[in-house]
Amino acid sequence: MSDINVTPLVDVMLVLLVIFIVAAPFMASRLALELPQAQARAMAAPVADVAVAVALDAQGRPHWNDEPVTEDLLRQRLVEAAQRNPATEVQLRADTTVPYGRVVQFIGLAQDAGLSRIGFVADAVPPPAR
């Protein structure tokens, strides 16, 4: 028989099509974040040219450069930072007890202000004791 049997090819293509149809909504619903990349676990991410430091304490209250601020003042300062330079990076330090929803609210606040570069600051893991 010299004809090519295309039935297995069609079966594989239909399975791939179904996988992409099911996976497409999950890929589109991610938060648009530009996270810093580190070459090694112990190395810190490079510091951006223009960056602001925002922290969320254990109660979820915002701090701008270690100064406690209200929600309205934080929004105003984020808008001002975006107007000065839209490429400003927001370096977010959040306490481990802060609920995930509060962090997402802050990300939305920063994106509404016009800032899309958000970096998450974390402590380095200490080396194991010998």
DSSP letter for 34, please.
-
Helical (H) or strand (E) element with 4: none
Average pLDDT of 90-101? 85
- The verdict on residue 92 lying in a domain is yes
The pLDDT of residue 37 is 41
Mean pLDDT of 78-106: 89
Residue 67 belongs to some domain of the structure:
yes
**Token duo for residue 11:** 């079966």
For residue 125, the model assigns a pLDDT of: 58
30 occurs within a structural domain: no
Give a yes or no: residue 3 inside a domain. Answer: no
pLDDT for 33-80, tens place per residue?
A: 333 344 445 444 455 568 898 988 888 889 898 888 999 999 999 999
pLDDT confidence of residue 77: 94
**CA distances (Å), origin 93, targets 11, 17, 40, 65, 116:** 49, 41, 20, 10, 16
Residue 106 buriedness (CB in 10 A; 0-12 / 13-18 / 19+): buried
pLDDT at 13: 95
Q: How many domains does the chain have?
A: 1
> Is residue 87 situated within a structural domain?
yes
Query: For position 75, which CATH number holds?
Result: 3.30.420.270
Q: What is the mean pLDDT of the chain?
A: 80
- pLDDT at 81 exceeding the cut of 80: yes
The per-residue pLDDT for 4 is 84
At 3 the pLDDT is: 82
The domain of 89 spans: 51-120
